[in-house]
Chain A
Amino acid sequence: KAGVTQTPRYLIKTRGQQVTLSCSPISGHRSVSWYQQTPGQGLQFLFEYFSETQRNKGNFPGRFSGRQFSNSRSEMNVSTLELGDSALYLCASSYAGVNTEAFFGQGTRLTVV
């Protein structure tokens, strides 16, 4: 059974640009959650999608958005990038949401210069 796949693994962007990250969940999983990890703040919850609907959202500005497609694949978009957006972005999939076991991807390391 294939795991959670995140693409790309590494990305370098310039301040002001926008970026789209992709997450393909485990087959059959309908919930995808996104997280940001930085050395200073640690892991922080961004949002959760379930059956193409955003179900939960963390405390991030509106520049951070996402969506989920009918095949459960999810994308996360960050517009008007800032230096502080440099981080490891992780997604996790689960069958029915955060009270069931979550499986994490390897992450996308975003560097904003």
Chain B
Amino acid sequence: KNEVEQSPQNLTAQEGEFITINCSYSVGISALHWLQQHPGGGIVSLFMLSSGKKKHGRLIATINIQEKHSSLHITASHPRDSAVYICAVRSGSGGSNYKLTFGKGTLLTVNP
């Protein structure tokens, strides 16, 4: 079992729909990142969370540390939101023991 599981793997939506992508992890973490990757490879860091909720424009990210679960929501989705969304967790402590583990990503396609 992977340490970081994302669901769904693929998601197709119509423009304007509300989108939710989930991330579950099995290790203790110090932070969780949501990343967006467009075709061609470029990655953009959307959020970094260690507790609670963050909002940026139409994007909302939440994390529940007790349940080891995070969600990324997109309100009023748009075709330009089509991308791969990747969850990454940082675990470990101490100078050289930090480890970054990534989920496999969720491919989101928003149709006009």
Measured CB to CB, the residues of A under 8 A from B are 33, 35, 37, 42-45, 48, 55-58, 88, 90, 92, 98-104, 106-107, 109
- What are 12 A-B contacts defined by CB distance under 8 Å? A42-B86, A43-B86, A45-B99, A45-B100, A45-B101, A99-B90, A100-B48, A102-B48, A104-B43, A104-B44, A107-B42, A107-B43
The verdict on A104 contacting B42 (CB below 8 Å), with A42-B102, A98-B31 known, is: yes
| In the complex with contacts A42-B105, A98-B31, A99-B30, A104-B45 CB distance below 8 A | yes
B98–A103 CB distance below 8 A = no
Complexed CA–CA distance, A29 and B48 (Å): 17
Q: Least Cβ distance of A112 to chain B in Å?
A: 17
Number of A-B residue pairs, CB cutoff 8 Å, is 60
Query: Are B41 and A88 in contact, CB atoms less than 8 angstroms apart?
Result: yes
A42 to B101, CA, bound (A): 10
Q: How far is the CB of A53 from chain B (nearest CB, A)?
A: 10
The minimal Cβ–Cβ distance linking A47 to chain B, given in whole angstroms, is: 10
Contact B102 A44 (CB under 8 A): yes
> Would you call the interface of chain B mostly helix, strand, loop, or mixed?
strand
Which residues of chain B are within 8 angstroms of A42 by Cβ–Cβ distance?
Answer: 86, 102-105
Q: B interface, how many residues as a size bin?
A: 20 to 34
In the docked arrangement, what's the CA distance between A90 and B35, Å?
13
On chain B, the residues within 8 Å of A98 by CB distance are: 31, 90, 98, 100
CA distance A54 to B41 in the complex (A): 25
Question: Which of these, B48, B88, B97, B104, contacts A101 with CB under 8 Å?
Answer: B48
